[in-house]
Amino acid sequence: MKRIKTGLALLTVTAVCLIGSFNKVYANNISKDTTLKSIPVLDTLQYDSLMKRLANGDKTGRWPVKKAPYPSPGAILPFNRVVAYYGNMYSKNMGVLGQYAPKEMLAKLKAEVKVWEEADTLTPVVPALHYICVTAQADAGRNGLHNLRMPFSQIDKVLDMAKQINAIVFLDIQVGFSTVQTELPLLEKYLRMPNVHFGIDPEFSMKEGSVPGKRIGTFDADDINYVTGYLSSLAKKYNLPPKIFVVHRFTKRMVTNYQDIKLRSDVQFVMDMDGWGGPELKKGTYKYFITQEPVQFTGFKLFYKNDIKNVPHRMLTPKEVLSLKPAPIYIQYQ
C-alpha cells in the first residue's frame, strides 16, 4: 500500500511537472508568436497628417478629399512618393522606358529618385516602371480594335528589370476600340502580384469611333469604377496590399462624371496630369483638370523632350512641382 501511495505521489509530481512544462512551452510560444503582431495596422493619425501635408495649404476646401476611405494596411500612398519611368520596350518615342538600354535606363531612374528624395526629405521615394502593355494603333489590326497587346514575355522583362532596383510596376493600357472590361482581365496573372499596379489612358479610348490619334478619347466614371471594383476583388481574393490605379488626364472630357467615381479601401486612385508644354501651361492644366475635380491623389507627368520644345525651354523643377496645391504624390517621366 505504501508503494502504491508512493507511486501515486510520483505520478502526481510527474503530472504537475508535465503541466508546468506544457504551460511554460505554451507561454514561450505565445511570446514568440508574432502572427498577431505582424499584421500591419494603419496609423490613421499619420495618414491624416500626411494627407493634410499633401494638400499643401489648399484654401479651396477640396483637398484633402473628404469622405475618402482609409486604405487597407500596406498602402504605398501617401507614406511614399512614386517616381516612375514610362514607355514601351518596342518604342524609343513612347517614353524613356524604351529609349535607353535597360542598365542605362535604370541608372537614370535611380538618379531621379535621389533628386526627389532631396527635394522632399520627409517623403520616401519608391521607383516604378510604368509599362504600356496595350498600345493604341492607327491601323485596325487583326482584331479590328486599333490596339496591340504586348507579349507576356515583354511584361516579364519589365518585371525582371524592376526587381533589380526594388521598383514597382504599372501595367498601362490604351484600349483603342476595345474596352477596359475586355482588356483588364487579360492581365490578371500579373495583377495578382503585390508589386504590380495599373493605369489607363482615356486619350486612346475611342468610344465615338475615331482612329486613335485623330481625336482625344474618353472614359466615364462607370469604366473607372469597373477597374476599381476588379482590382479591389483581386486584393481581397489574394490578400494583397492596396493597388495603385493611375488615370491620365489633360482635358475635361477625358474623364466624365468624376464625382461618381467610387473610392475603395484597397485601391488608391491617382489622377495624373498628362499634358506637356512649358511650365505655366502645365500648371494651368493641373489646376483646371486635376485640382478642380478632386478624386483622391494627384500625379504629374514630366516630358524630357516635349516640355522643353517651347519657351522657356525647360522642365518644371521638383521644387516647383511640390509647390502645387495639392502636391502630387505620383511623378512620371516620359
Taking only the tens of pLDDT, the chain with its 334 residues reads 433 333 433 333 333 333 333 333 323 333 333 333 455 789 999 999 999 999 999 999 999 999 899 999 999 999 999 999 999 999 998 999 999 999 999 999 999 999 999 999 999 999 999 999 999 999 999 999 999 999 999 999 999 999 999 999 999 999 999 999 999 999 999 999 999 999 999 999 999 999 999 999 999 999 999 999 999 999 999 999 999 999 999 999 999 999 999 999 999 999 999 999 999 999 999 999 999 999 999 999 999 999 999 999 999 999 999 999 999 999 999 9
Asked whether 119 and 331 are in contact (CB, 8 A), the reply is no
CB atoms within 10 A of CB 23: 10
How many Å is the Cα radius of gyration of the chain?
26
Burial of 89 (0-12, 13-18, 19+ CB in 10 A): buried
Q: Round to whole Å and give the CA distance between 97 and 89.
A: 7
pLDDT at 41: 86
pLDDT at 292: 97
Cell output for 174: 490604351
Cell output for 98: 524604351
Q: In degrees rounded to 5, what are phi and psi of residue 318?
A: -55, -40
pLDDT at 14: 37
pLDDT at 39: 58
